[in-house]
Each structure stands twice: as C-alpha cells, then as structure tokens.
Structure 1
Amino acid sequence: MTRPRYQIARDERGAAVIELALVAPVLALMVIGIIDMSNAFSRKLALEQGAQRAIERIMQTTGNDTVENTLKSEVQCQVNGTVTNSTSCKSTPVALSDVTVTYKLECTTAAGAITAQSSTDPVAFDALTCGTGGPFTEARYIEVIVNDKYTPMFPVHFSFINADGTYHLSATAGMRTQ
C-alpha cells in the first residue's frame, strides 16, 4: 500500500483563519471609529438643538432674569437634562461658562455696504449705533454659542482630534431681534 503524497503548496486548510486574523483588526478599528464619530455627531446635534430651543424659549419669556442668564440656563437645561424627580437642571457636562451670548448690529447703507459690530455686553450693545454717513438699515441679532468637548472611546489621534485627545464641538443658534 502506498501512501498519498502531500503537496504543501496546494494545502489550503486554515487559509480562512489566517485571512480573518489579518482583516479582523482593521474591521474592529473601523467599527470603533464609526461608533466614536456617531457619538460625537450625536453630541453636536444635542448642542445644536439645545441652542435652538433656548432661542425659541427666549422669544416666549425671559422670566425674572436677564436675557443672557435665561439663555445660558436654558441651553444648559436643554443639553444636560433635568435632575431625576426634580425641575432643576444638571450642571454637567455643559456648564454655564460653556455658553456665550453675543449681540450683533448690522448696518446696511443704501448702496448695499454692510458693516457689523458685536458685543457680549447687552448694555454696550444697546449703545451701539450705525453712525453717520447716510440712511442705514439696522438689523440687531442675538446669538448663542455652546462649546463642549467629546472624549472618544478609542483615542486614535487623527488630524481632527486636538492635542488634549478630545473633539472640540461647537453649536450656534441665533435670531433677529429688530
């Protein structure tokens, strides 16, 4: 009885396992990256919605506080949510210091030239005027900017991740007041 001759070059047993071992890390990194980017995008969307809802809310009422403080607290409440079994807002991850309220004045001349001025101080903003030099069309705006940081689950350092290992997120909402 003769033994069969094995040819090593034609033996393909285990090839699929080796191919999987080569491809699996790449697929795992892609999945983790997609999850991280989805979470960051979700966080940015929450910031945008919070800023927009604060602008909508300020059109309804300012309550007993200033417009700026009402906007800041409303953004914080919309983004962070409320404490369980309470009406008070959570103070993290977005703090009041992460919210900036800016007042803008745009002056348009009859020729169509536009100049803009802005201030974070509402009293100084009320004192702004278009100045002299002809008839102007004034437009006043209020803008809310919310800043936050998102820390990825798997900190692979690509060009869009900052040196501190986070994505810096920002959302802006505004409306014309006059």
Structure 2
Amino acid sequence: MMLASFEPLRGLVRLSRRIRRDTRGVALVEMALSLPLLMLLCLGMIDISRLVATKIDLEQAAQRTTDFVLAKRPSSANTTVYVNEAVSASGLPKSGVVVKLYLECDGEVQASFTDICADDETIGRYATVSLTKNVGLDFNWSAFATMFDGKTRSSTVKVVGDSTVRFQ
C-alpha cells in the first residue's frame, strides 16, 4: 500500500529526466534569445562606421584646406578664398564651414589678424578650419534609448572635422 502512493512521483521523476536529456530545440531557443542582441550590434557597427567615415572625410577636407592656406599665405583677415576651398574639398554648404585666421604674440591671441607684435615677442599666425555635418543614423537609436530613460533624442549626430596650421 505504501509503494503504490509513490508511483505517480516515480513517473514524474522519469518524465523530468527525459525532458532534461531531450536537447531538441535548444539551439532555436538560444538563437531566439541572442538574435536581438546580435542585430543591435550589427546595426550599431553600421552606424558607427558611417560616422567614422564621415569624420575621416571631414578631417581630410579640413587638412586639404589648411594645406591651401600654407600654399597661398593670407595677407589679410579675409577668409573667402579659404572658405570656398573648404566647400570645394568637403562638398558642404558654406554654413558648415568655419575658417578663422588669428595672430598670437607670445602665446596670446590678438584682437586682429593684421596687428603687429612687438620686436621681442614671438609671432604666430594660425589658420583653423572647422567643418560640420549632421549625419542621419540608419537605425532610430533615439526610440531605443527612450525605452531606458524616457528622454527624446535626435536621430542625427553632428560630426566635426578640423585642422589647424601655423604658417608664420
């Protein structure tokens, strides 16, 4: 009589052992759990590579413009020809290009590029080129980030490439 009461438990133990040994479908479950993470990694790599490529392009265009400044040294504070060169090199509109010419006397920036430093001061004339482009992301990361902190973000990233050269 006592043995008969344990019979349903033995059947349950045998069923649990059989289920534990059965590995059919495990790969499918693992894939279902890891696929979203793998897809996010792939999408992230695509967006990051686009941003890095854009950064490299902007840096090269800015360096090309500072090379142009070295080749055609400015005698006035007019930067129009250098802005046009940066626009040509980068393909950006003029609104995305900033070219600054400035003078330093003993390491202090002067108010005007055309000022003259005292004879005993170290002179440094510089040109700085900054190129800015807004890059839209392929994946809407702002919606994904909103799930975590509730803040709304833009789906574009501002990428800046710059270069500075001392020519005197």
Q: What band does the TM-score fall into relative to the shorter chain?
A: 0.7 to 0.9
Aligned to 2:19: 8
Root mean square deviation, CA, Å: 2.5
Aligned to 1:125: 113
Aligned to 2:161: 171
* Distance across 2 between alignment mates of 1:142 and 1:107: 15
Aligned to 1:142: 127
Structure number with larger C-alpha Rg: 2
CA 1:35–1:167 in 2, change beyond 3 Å: closer, same or farther? same
- Contact 1:58 1:70 survives alignment (8 Å): no
TM-score normalised over the length of structure 2: 0.73
Opposite residue 49 of structure 1, the aligned amino acid is Q
- Contact 2:79 2:101 survives alignment (8 Å): no
Q: Which runs of 5+ in 2 are unaligned?
A: 1-13, 146-151
Opposite residue 142 of structure 1, the aligned amino acid is A
Residue 33 of structure 1 pairs with residue 71 of structure 2: no
Aligned to 1:21: 32
Residue 71 of structure 1 pairs with residue 82 of structure 2: yes
Aligned to 1:90: none
Q: Percent identity?
A: 30
Question: Pairwise mapping of residues 82-97 of structure 1 onto structure 2 (< 5 A)?
Answer: 94-97=92-95
Structure number with higher helix proportion: 2
- Contact 1:104 1:117 survives alignment (8 Å): yes
- Contact 2:97 2:132 survives alignment (8 Å): yes
For residues 16-65 of structure 1, give each alpha carbon's deviation from its aligned partner in whole angstroms, at most 9, with x where no partner exists. 01100110110111011011101100001000000111222333348xxx
TM-score normalised over the length of structure 1: 0.70
Q: Secondary structure at the match of 1:140?
A: strand
Q: Secondary structure at the match of 1:125?
A: coil
For residues 56-85 of structure 1, give each alpha carbon's deviation from its aligned partner in whole angstroms, at most 9, with x where no partner exists. 2333348xxx962222222222222xxxxx
- Contact 1:144 1:172 survives alignment (8 Å): yes
Q: Which runs of 5+ in 1 are unaligned?
A: 81-93, 109-113, 119-123
Aligned to 2:102: 104
* Distance across 1 between alignment mates of 2:42 and 2:82: 38
